[in-house]
Amino acid sequence: MGDFSLATRFVHAGERRDAPAGVPASTPIYATSSFIYEQVEDIDRIVDGETSGFVYSRYGNPTVAAFEEAMAAVENGKFAYAFGSGMAAIHAALLASELSSGSVVLASRDLYGSTLELLYSVFRPFGVKTVTEDFNDIAALRARALEVKPAVMFCETLSNPLLKVCDIEECAAIAREVGAKLIVDNTFATPYLCRPLDLGADFVVHSATKFLGGHADATGGVVVAKEEFDKPALLGALTLAGGVLSPWEAHSILRGLKTLGLRMEKQCSNAELLANRLDKLPQISEVIYPKFFEGDQANALDRTFHGSEYGAIVSIRLADDTREAAYRFLNALQLCTRAASVGDLFTGIVHPATATHRELSPAKRAEIGITEGLIRISVGIEDVNDIVADIEQALRAGEAFSRGFSQITLIEETKAATVGA
Ligand code: PLP
């Protein structure tokens, strides 16, 4: 570069070196928007699909491609595309299902709130109708599917925060019968517990922000497809709507994915131990954990989850089923975080009524079982004894405060009564 002026050397010196002879042990972050070739014809051949390669990062990036390849491998899919968030992935999966005016989406009524909101706010104005149904009632689901003839059926393997298990095989059979595509959000179960494509789903979607990344440091999403023929539609949704994953985030999530198995093993065993310990506490009226399910839900679990683990999330209902009691408990936590997310390697606890299901009316929340005293615990990899101790002390602190509070109220009531007399 010695022949060029200093200004030019500032711009070009050191760039575009030959790739090193050795293959990097870990996929580098390809922080580049475009790729340069010796001949323009080379670009033509790549764009025409004659040879593989990268031209522009919205159309493909090596770091992102590594994450996509990994996801297709762990979900047993034909291919995967990565997105800038879980919501972008869900949007693309719906777009790639070729919905048009008059199409019906049959959605689980327990879906993540933003997914339903996406269907109502973004797709409805284009004439796509959304009908909700209880996907755990297979007879009702089949009857509804035969009635409304959906183009798409959409469910979650494990619902939030009540952890209902969807019998994917049964849902897939219904989807096939009515000619619908089945999209399964596998965010809460992860491929460690369940692989919906093996059970008949067409698309699996994830918020990679959660368990896949696992370290609360990246936002992303992914769609994994069962069949090759869905590739052009999904690629179109990715490159034209443009919600691509950045190579920086892809690198973080790919690194997270490497320890998903180890993290899930520990998080599931911690969750099971925690659920057992909490089940005996007087301050809790109900511990919701798939291990305790009976009847249809136990059968769905057997058919849907491989292995003998029950997931990393435990929900509890406080005996004092009020918002005040829930807030007292949450504010008294000293180790577990009051995190809005789920699936991180640290324990995160949320109050669904004012967080994930805030937008629903109190009546709607009560109808679906999300009461004010319901708490969702995403169990981390810490020592489980520390998690239990923190939760127990927060429950006791909330209870002590509540006792003190009712004594004060009582004294004031007595005073008021005395004054009144
Ligand atoms: N799917 C589920 C089950 C979720 O819980 C979430 C977010 O909480 C999403 C999708 C959306 O993911 P993101 O926040 O990465 O867009």
pLDDT (tens digit per residue) in 282-292 = 999 999 999 99
Report the separation in Å between the CA atom of 257 and the middle of ligand 1, taken as the mean of its atom positions: 17
Residue 340 one-letter amino acid: A
What DSSP element (H or E) covers 372?
none
Shortest CA distance to 63 belongs to which of 259, 258, 246, 260? 246
Question: Are 159 and 275 contained in the same domain?
Answer: no
Evaluate whether residue 332 is within a structural domain: yes
Cβ neighbours around 354 below 10 Å, total = 14
Query: In sequence order, what are the beta bridge partners of 152?
Result: 105, 181
Domain boundary among 257, 275, 309: 257
Task: Grade residue 273 by pLDDT with cuts at 50, 70 and 90.
Answer: very high
Question: Are 273 and 394 contained in the same domain?
Answer: yes
Whether the predicted pLDDT of 242 surpasses 50: yes
Whether the predicted pLDDT of 403 surpasses 80: no
3-state secondary structure of 73: helix
Evaluate whether residue 355 is within a structural domain: yes
Q: Look up the CATH number of the domain holding residue 341.
A: 3.90.1150.10
Ligand 1: lining residues by beta carbon, under 6 Å: 85-87, 112, 114, 156, 160, 185, 187-188, 207, 209, 219, 221
The answer to whether 131 and 106 are in contact (CB under 8 A) is yes
Report the separation in Å between the CA atom of 207 and the middle of ligand 1, taken as the mean of its atom positions: 5
Question: Are 85 and 193 contained in the same domain?
Answer: yes
* pLDDT reported for residue 404: 58
* pLDDT reported for residue 339: 85
Report the separation in Å between the CA atom of 115 and the middle of ligand 1, taken as the mean of its atom positions: 8
Question: Are 226 and 291 contained in the same domain?
Answer: no
Domain boundary among 201, 232, 257: 257
Residue pointed to by tokens 């109900």: 286
Q: What pTM was computed for the model?
A: 0.93
Which structural domain range is residue 395 located in?
A: 260-407
Q: What percent of the chain has pLDDT over 70?
A: 95
Nearest CA to ligand 1 atom 12: 86
Query: In sequence order, what are the beta bridge partners of 158?
Result: 165
Question: Are 304 and 206 contained in the same domain?
Answer: no
Question: Are 147 and 160 contained in the same domain?
Answer: yes
Find how far residue 29's CA is from the centre of its chain: 24
* pLDDT reported for residue 161: 94
**Ligand 1 mutation target, pool 112, 115, 190, most atoms within 8 A of CB:** 112
Question: Are 173 and 298 contained in the same domain?
Answer: no
Q: Within 13 Å and on the Cβ side, how many CA atoms surround 403?
A: 6
Question: Are 133 and 215 contained in the same domain?
Answer: yes
Question: Are 59 and 184 contained in the same domain?
Answer: yes
- Mean pLDDT over each residue of the chain, to the nearest integer: 93
Q: What percent of the chain has pLDDT over 90?
A: 86
pLDDT (tens digit per residue) in 371-401 = 999 999 999 999 999 999 999 999 999 777 6
pLDDT (tens digit per residue) in 356-373 = 888 788 888 888 899 999
Whether the predicted pLDDT of 314 surpasses 70: yes
Average pLDDT score over residue span 297-312? 93
* Ligand 1 atom with least separation from CA of 188: 3
Average pLDDT score over residue span 234-252? 97
Question: Are 351 and 298 contained in the same domain?
Answer: yes
- Give, in order, the Cα–Cα distances in Å from 304 to each of 175, 210, 216, 226: 16, 21, 27, 17
pLDDT (tens digit per residue) in 155-168 = 999 999 999 999 99
pLDDT (tens digit per residue) in 245-263 = 999 999 999 999 999 999 9
The answer to whether 83 and 202 are in contact (CB under 8 A) is no
Residue pointed to by tokens 């997105």: 83
Find how far residue 97's CA is from the centre of its chain: 20
* pLDDT reported for residue 306: 87
**Ligand 1 mutation target, pool 187, 205, 359, most atoms within 8 A of CB:** 187
What is the number of domains present in the chain?
Answer: 2
Task: Grade residue 113 by pLDDT with cuts at 50, 70 and 90.
Answer: confident
Q: Look up the CATH number of the domain holding residue 88.
A: 3.40.640.10
Nearest CA to ligand 1 atom 6: 207
Q: Which of 14-24 are b and which e, b meaning 16 or more Cβ less than 10 Å from the residue's Cβ? A: eeeeeeeeeee
Evaluate whether residue 412 is within a structural domain: no
Whether the predicted pLDDT of 409 surpasses 70: no
Residue 106 one-letter amino acid: L
